[in-house]
């Protein structure tokens, strides 16, 4: 349990020293720095600095008794205040970045003529998934095929659930092809099935003038091609598969 709590505290931005001291304060209650250093396993030269950081974050406080400071943890709900503060800061930064996005994208388009972008790692498949939704909101149809099962369901179940919710909200038209025997959770999509062995080992999505090819073998590799002729060629290939696939 302690390790899980420590991991959660680290995720909201506390350092290792801050976590140890904060947990010590929770255990000890109102205490002098001597007890805190022993329980937290932190040097006396560092403890005041760490305590001050916790005070600044609203997670600790102190009282003076007989001329000596005694520290204690503030109510645990203050952790939510810290999260709310971080969220407000992120929202503020997001608003600032949103103002510059059109200008930044214009600069990018002027400087590059690349027709394909390659992403390595787990963020790539999510970028491709979000792009399909962004394009589909303009009225375009999303097509997807390859792999017997939906690898997004395996690796990104929460994100896929949110994606399907948005898809249903905007009444996005989606056609998908999987291998026989797989039950897709996407209730808003038209789905057909191919005999296992006829599917590809990668997931391919076609949307607008783009084609996303996602290889879920480690390390994940995502290739997004933006070219009208390529997208149309993949659409024709999909339509051929759609005709022979079973409902």
> How many Å apart are CA 200 and CA 223, to the nearest integer?
15
For residue 211, the tally of other CB atoms under 10 A from its CB is: 23
Same domain, 14 and 123: no
Q: Any alpha helices (H) in 57-121, and if so which ranges?
A: 78-111
Same domain, 121 and 63: no
Same domain, 75 and 183: no
pLDDT value, residue 125: 94
Same domain, 168 and 228: yes
**Residue 109 pLDDT level (bands cut at 50, 70, 90):** low
pLDDT greater than 70 at residue 113: no
Q: What is the domain range of residue 51? A: 2-79
Return the ∠ at Cα 13 (arms to 10 and 16), rounded to 5°.
50
Same domain, 234 and 144: yes
Same domain, 236 and 122: yes
CATH number, domain of 233, equals 3.30.870.10
> Is 179 in contact with 148 (CB distance < 8 Å)?
yes
168 inside domain:
yes
**Residue 4 pLDDT level (bands cut at 50, 70, 90):** confident
**Residue 110 pLDDT level (bands cut at 50, 70, 90):** low
Give SS3 for 92.
Answer: helix
Could you tell me the pTM of the whole model?
0.59
Asked if the bond preceding 28 is cis, omega within 30° of 0, the reply is no
Q: Which residue, 59, 79, 99, sits at the end of a domain? A: 79
> How many Å apart are CA 127 and CA 222, to the nearest integer?
9
pLDDT value, residue 159: 93
**Residue 123 pLDDT level (bands cut at 50, 70, 90):** very high
**Residue 152 pLDDT level (bands cut at 50, 70, 90):** very high
Nearest to 199 by CA among 155, 142, 150, 235: 150
99 inside domain:
no
**What's 76's DSSP letter?**
T
Q: Which residue, 34, 54, 79, sits at the end of a domain? A: 79
Mean pLDDT of the chain: 88
Domain count, the chain: 2
């Amino acid at each position: 349990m302690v390790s899980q709590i420590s991991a959660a505290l680290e995720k909201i931005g506390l350092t290792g020293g801050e976590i140890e001291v904060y947990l010590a304060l929770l255990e000890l209650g109102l205490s002098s720095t001597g007890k805190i250093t022993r329980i937290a396993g932190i040097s006396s030269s560092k403890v005041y600095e760490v305590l001050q950081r916790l005070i600044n974050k609203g997670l600790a406080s102190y009282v003076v008794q007989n001329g000596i400071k005694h520290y204690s943890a503030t109510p645990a709900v203050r952790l939510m205040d810290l999260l709310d503060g971080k969220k407000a800061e992120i929202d503020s930064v997001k608003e600032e970045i949103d103002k510059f996005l059109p200008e930044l994208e214009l600069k990018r388009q002027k400087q590059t003529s690349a027709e394909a972008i390659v992403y390595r790692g787990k963020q790539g498949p999510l970028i491709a998934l979000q792009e399909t939704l962004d394009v589909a909101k303009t009225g375009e149809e999303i097509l997807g095929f390859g792999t017997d099962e939906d690898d997004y369901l395996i690796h990104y179940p929460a994100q896929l659930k949110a994606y399907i919710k948005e898809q249903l909200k905007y009444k996005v038209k989606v056609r998908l092809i999987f291998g026989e025997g797989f039950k897709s959770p996407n209730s808003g999509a038209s789905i057909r099935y191919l005999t296992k062995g006829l599917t590809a080992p990668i997931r391919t999505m076609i949307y607008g003038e783009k084609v996303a090819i996602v290889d879920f073998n480690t390390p994940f590799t995502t290739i997004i091609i933006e070219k009208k002729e390529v997208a149309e060629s993949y659409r024709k290939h999909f339509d051929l598969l759609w005709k022979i696939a079973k409902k």
